[in-house]
Amino acid sequence: MPGLRRREKDLVVRVHLLDGDKASIIVHLEHEAQNHQNMPERMFMYFRRLLELHDTDQIYPICVFSARAKSPRPTEYKIQCHDLTTVTFCYRTVELAHLDWRAFLKKPNPVASALMARMAIRPEDRPQVKAECLRMLANLRVDYDKAAIIGHFVESYLKLTAEEVRTFERIVELLPQEEKETVMTYTTSWHREGRKEGRLEGRKEGHHEASREIALRLRASGVDLQTIASCTDLTISEVESLTEKSPARIRQSADQMPQEGS
């Protein structure tokens, strides 16, 4: 639509009802990790697009919030024209922060193991929740790639302190042998991948910093932007921005360069 930024819906599925007449509905599930004020309008826009795409009004919209809210969130969107309400659109909301993680321990669903990390958790339960999330993955026998996605989600939203990690490790030690081995395999592999990614990012940043230093020195000696960009991994605009922000560095580099005839 003109003037609208393209957005992707998080999850859209067709669900068959259990009333025997083969009826089905479209379920739209949206996850929101921030407290954006325009969520009602966004949900309505998604609904309208689904209405056009599937040519059915049997659409059930749900918004799952993983961020805490200071006040109750709206569950409807209205359009008013003068003294007439032309549209009233309603949707369901789920507040993860209001749910008890224990209620999902026996849910055979890998999504539950991920969302538990964003539910209501007492500080002293944090290591236990992380252990239970990974234990669920082990019991569901989720393939490694899917388990890694869920594991990284849990790692991101349930970062443990050093003391909590020790408690987590003690809990894992008490798990049945097969579960313990799977959980330890998960955590060891993910930590190894995390360290590898961290080292790679560090090398990239170090290389980029060296390119910036070279660019400043070349600019100080009067080399044009195009040539500098071709000699480094920087774009012309990056070189231009860098030299505009660092005139003092350029003067310093120029002063340190050997003068002709010296």
DSSP conformational letter for 60: E
Distance (Å, whole) CA 47 – CA 40: 11
pLDDT(261) > 80: no
The string of pLDDT tens digits covering residues 52-93 is 988 888 999 999 998 888 888 999 999 999 999 999 999 999
Distance (Å, whole) CA 121 – CA 105: 13
DSSP conformational letter for 19: S
What does the block give as tokens for 232?
């480094």
- According to DSSP, the residues that pair with 64 across neighbouring strands are 31, 94
Tell me the residue length of the chain: 262
Q: Which of 77, 78, 63, 75 is nearest to 28 (CA)?
A: 63
The string of pLDDT tens digits covering residues 16-44 is 877 656 688 999 999 888 777 889 999 99
> The pTM is what?
0.58
